[in-house]
Structure 1
């Protein structure tokens, strides 16, 4: 069974952008809003699309509206992987 952790999230962010974006992601920011971290909705959408492609997990748009922090997104994807 696969899991989705901060490490995997950082790898996805790194693949979408550059290492500087991923380097800023630490445990201390997991509960910060994406907007507070400088991620606009298009950025979050790009990250989610890559997660869906790489991990074969579906994140419905209506669910994405509720996943406003990296920690919430990581927990959601991890739960989906555990259920699969």
Structure 2
């Protein structure tokens, strides 16, 4: 079974949207707002599109629009992967 963890999200954020030099993505970021991490809605859109493609999971647009933290996104992807099995 495929899993999706914070390390996977951090890697995709770096690849899809870059990284703010002032933010330590290797720290405890699970409950920080994406905006506090330097990511806007376009960065999240690109990252979510990549997640859907790489993990073959469909994430509802209305739910993704409400995502504010990495924890919420990791949980959403994990749920989608579990439901896919």
TM-score normalised by the chain length of structure 2: 0.83
- The question of whether the paired residues in 1 share the 8 Å contact of 2:17 and 2:43 is answered with no
Corresponding residue for residue 59 of structure 1: 59
SS in structure 2 opposite 1:58? coil
Equivalent-residue separation in structure 1 for 2:27 and 2:4 (angstroms): 14
In 2 relative to 1, CA 17–40 (structure 1 residues): closer, same or farther, beyond 3 Å? closer
CA RMSD of aligned residues (A): 1.8
Corresponding residue for residue 46 of structure 2: 46
> In proportion to residue count, which structure has more helix?
1
Structure 1 residue 57: Cα displacement: 1.0
Alignment of 1:1-84 (within 5 A): 1-18=1-18, 20=19, 24-26=24-26, 28-84=28-84
Structure 1 residue 27: Cα displacement: 5.4
TM-score normalised by the chain length of structure 1: 0.84
